[in-house]
Structure 1
Amino acid sequence: MKNIILVGKPNSGKSLLFNQLTGLRQKVANFPGVTVELKSGTFDQYKLVDFPGTYSLKSLSRDEELAIEKLHEAMLSDETSLVVCNLDATRLESSLVFGLQVRDLALQHNKGIIFALNMIDEVQRFGHEIDTEKLATDLGCAVFALSAKTLIGLHEFKL
């Protein structure tokens, strides 16, 4: 079974997305550091692996250092077929800093990458929009606007 790895910043809805896709109930809370180990579940014919949240590929703490080491190991594995990078739509600029680092790492290791633009419901609630087609063109890979909380766009999310 091939692996899909799910990465993102802490407190960005990543673990909730993991739960929605796998049907599991991994602990979710509104503070960084809840996912401090790798969690996995089944999604379609894949093993989906939820990585601990990190702010950057340059570690600021021992927890981040371990998560980044595991991410590099996953990139070297033939079992890893795709990286899903969860972006916080409400904090897109800061999420993209990490997202671009992950995209470059994935491309360096010939791994597919897509972006899940999570929390789009919060952006819409304030009457804003994000041009996902333009963002996808700029990033060079697919971008899916969704909300793991309200399930907006989750059915269109295809891997």
Structure 2
Amino acid sequence: MTAPFLRSAQKVGCEKIFRDVMSGSTTERPGLSEALGYARSGDVLIVWKLDRLGRSLAHLIEVVQQLHTEGIGFRSLQENMDTTTSGGQLIFHIFGALAEFERALIRERTQARLSAARARGRIGGRPPRLSADQIRMAQRQLQDPDLTMAEVAQAFHVSRTTLYRALKKTAQG
């Protein structure tokens, strides 16, 4: 734990300090989970920086809304944000609105890029494991009563499921 945080935490009257040593982007953070489980209505959860609380802006907003629902305040020392004040709540709600706007823009841009790619004849996704020639060969091999689906799939270095899907797609298409 950094010395500046400890000094700052002591100045603002923190009674209990929880610590995570991994990245803020990590999904499982025992220190955060313990702090959220420990906090009660009327408490204020204090972090050194906003990025210590949430993996992303959306996650940060979700956690702070959960805290608000449970009557727990939130403060970030570096950003000087305090949701226990009306000004801090306003700033936080503006952050939330901006995050929602950003998600909508990303969604629109992604859809536009996918449409443009489709118009150019490109399709996304993983390339097929078996070529059309390999599928025809597999169909011929499967007509041999001595060969099983598993043996034919193994000959092409694919799973039976992959072979079944390729054959089904060829039959439909």
TM-score by length of 2: 0.34
Instruction: Look at both structures and tell me which one has the larger radius of gyration over its CA atoms.
Output: 2
- Structure with higher helix content: 2
Q: Which has the higher relative contact order, 1 or 2, with Cα contacts under 8 A spaced 6 or more apart?
A: 1
Normalising by the residue count of structure 1, what TM-score does the alignment of the two structures yield?
A: 0.36
Higher strand share: 1
